[in-house]
Every structure is written in structure tokens, then in C-alpha cells.
Chains A and B, each alone.
Chain A
Amino acid sequence: MTRSIEEMGAFIVEGKIDLPATFSAGAVASRFFIEIRDNKKIMGLRCPQCNRVYVPPRATCKRCFGKLSEWCEVSDKGTLLAYAISHQANAAQPVQPPIVYGIVQLDGADTGIVHMIGEVDCERLHVGLRLQAVFKDKRVGDILDIKHFKPLR
């Protein structure tokens, strides 16, 4: 598909590049996704040296560079640390706007997890809001097995 921009003498060539990719989650993230998929459990990794629990889990502690292997289950309830509301539709977004994106610190975790906040009246949103994970009925092993976090009533 080509268009000419007459006044400039330039041509515009339109097309697309499509490279299918297979991204390895790795053993650590695999366990995280599988526990959510099979058991609706949210798992983290603890750094024994820094006494920090990483959720989502990662194999290396960013503070002490220690190798992490101590798994622990954290709560599916947590606290909203920050949020933003997207009103603009975008092909990359998993649901239709408005979308509330939030960072949620689950009880028992020392880090926040980014996800969507649902079933919420935007007027009621505030930092510190208590939330609970809503799992999908049909889970496939990716981050959207958690449908969203909803306010705890």
C-alpha cells in the first residue's frame, strides 16, 4: 500500500511487521502462574537476608542480589498503593475503557503488583483502599487469570 505525498514528492509505504514470539516465563514465574491457575493461590518469594517478600516472585533480590528460593503464599487481599484511570481505547488493553490500573500490595508481600481494579465506583477510589483478587472461572496460566481486584466490602 503506497500513498504519495504530492507536495513533498515523497511516498508513504504502509505495511506491518509481524513476528510471532514465544516468551519463556521461566521456572519461577511458571510456578506463580500455575499456582494461580490450579489453586487460586498467590505465591511470593522471600529474601531471607532482607526479609522481603516479592510478589510477583523473582529469582534475585534487587537489594542484596541474593538468590531466592523460599516460597510463601500471600493473601489474595491487599491495599491499593496507586492508581490511574485510562479512558482511551487501545489495542493492547485487555478490556474496554475506562480501565482502572492499580498497584496492589497484597497482605504478606513487600512489593506491589500491577493489575486492574474492577467492580469499583471511580468516585470511591483512593490510595489505601482495601482490595481482593477476583479469579476467572476458566484459568489458562497467565496474569489475566486474576480478572481484577475489587474493593473489599
Chain B
Amino acid sequence: MSTLQATQTRTAFGRANDRFLSRHASMVPSFAAVAVLLVLLVAAQLYFGNFVTPRNMSALLLDNAYLMVIAVGMTFVILTAGIDLSVGSVMAFTGILLATFLSNGLPTVVAVPLILAAGAAIGLLIGILVQYFNVQPFIASLAGLFLARGLAFVVSLQSIRVEDDSLLWLQSTRFTIGNWYITPTGIIALLSVVVGALVLQYTRFGRTIYAVGGNEQSARLMGLKVGRTKILVYVISGTLAGVAGVILTAYSGAGYPRNGIGTELDAIAAVVIGGTLLSGGRGYVLGSMVGVFVYGTIKAIISFMGAEQSWMQIIIGALLLLFILIQRFIVSRSERRE
């Protein structure tokens, strides 16, 4: 009798466990990313002894602020089952444009909105191609990549130094708490994560993005504004790439047309590692933030070890593969359930 009861409770518990897993299946990859980040940090701390220090952790945010901003925009796009390859080039274009404007004596308050508008315009172009001309996001954003990269070189073939105080302030100011510090660029990055997460979770627009990514046809039949949403995500991604251009220009103190080659791949990798499915409809901005931290931690570990940066690409590739396999497993499980 008691054994029977025991089995019953166990199966009940097992069922509840199963139900929890299936209900929160979309969160599992993000939790896996958090686990990977913790393992990386603990292992690095044990190995080096002086890795997890306030200084290093603050630098992690500072060094990857531009990537985090881009990853937020990329998450929006990928959630609609799209992709934006143009972000790295848009970052370079807006960065060099900003440096040119500033060196020509334009005040920062005028120059920054102008270049953000330029980023948004390229995003709008991609969105219109995707929505109104049925171009695949891959190809449409490829056109954006070429356009922005070429325009960056049209603006200037050489790097341009920035001596504008208000822009450099973004980088040089450090708000400190003990040994921790945060720069305005870091605050911008965190702010974009928070706003992105809130928009996706609690606004009509955000929920529409998930609906479009889950099943575009159903979303349309439900009367959701699919077209507007799909165009807007590319505009958001382009604008955030512009913000990243501002951050990177402040960070490096110069605009350079060759900046950000391959940044779109880093951003996609960070987003995927953070648990967003490339097939759309599932994922979190907070996960992407964790993905960027994983990326940054690996980079920091490699430079700590003095190893060659080529390992960076290999390890990121391997991690990407691992997370794709995890996602594949989860998706096939939930498909079997249905």
C-alpha cells in the first residue's frame, strides 16, 4: 500500500517535472547559457586566481557594450524569424559618419540624432525589401551590408580621430562603487537590454513579434499588424547598430571604416548562445545579454592566457554548435509532444 502510494507520488512528481520542462522549454537554452557563463567564470577564477575581480567584470561590460546593443536589436529581428547581416557595417558607417560630423564642427546633440537616423534608414530599407518585395531577410540585409560598408568608405577611406569632449565623456567617465565602475556607454548598453526586455514582454508590439515569429500566417489571421511589426524590427536593429556606432567611436576615440567586419556573426552567435531560436518565436533579450557576456568572458580568458586570438573563433564556433544541438534537441522533443 505504502509502496503504491510512493510510486504514485513519484509519477505525479515526475509528471509535474515534465510539465514544468515542457511549459518552460523555451527558457532551457537561456538557462544553459547562464550555466556556461558560471562554469567559465568559476573555471577561470580557479585557474588564474585573479580573474573574477570587480575591475575585470566592469571591463567586461565596457569592452562589449557595443556588441550588447547590437545583440538586443538582433534578438528583435531573429524573434520574427528574420536575420540582419547589416549591423556590423551599419556600425562602421554610422561611426565614421559621426567622426566626420564632429571633426567638421557639428555639435554632438545634432550629429548623434543624424547618424541614428542614418542607421534607422538602412534598417527601413531592409524592412521594406523584406515586407513589400518578399525578399528573404538574408538577401535584403546583405544588400544593407554592402550598402553600409561601401558608404563607410565613401565617407572616409582613413580613420578619423574624435576630439569632441562630450562624446569622449561617454567613455572616460567612470561612476565607481568600491572597485566596480560603469561608464555611460555601459549604462546605455544595460538600458537597451532593460528597455528591450520590457518591450518584448509587456507591450502589444513585443507580443506581436513573438506571434509573428511563432507563426506568421496565424498572426495575420488574428488581425495583428504583421507588416508594420516586421519593418519596425529592422528599423530598431538599424537604429541600435547606430547606437553601437556611437559607443564604438567613443570607445576607440576614432571612426574607422573597417570597424565591425564580422560583428554581425558575433552578434548572431551571442544571440543563439543566449537561447534565441533562429527559427523565430522563442528567445529573450536577457538571454542575449548572457550570450554577450559568455562571448566577452571567452575573449578575456584567451587574452589572459596569452593564447592566440584564433582560438576565439574556434571556441565561439564550437559553443555555437553545442547550443544549436541543444536547441535542436528541445525543438524535436516539443514537436514530438504536439
A and B from one assembly?
A: no
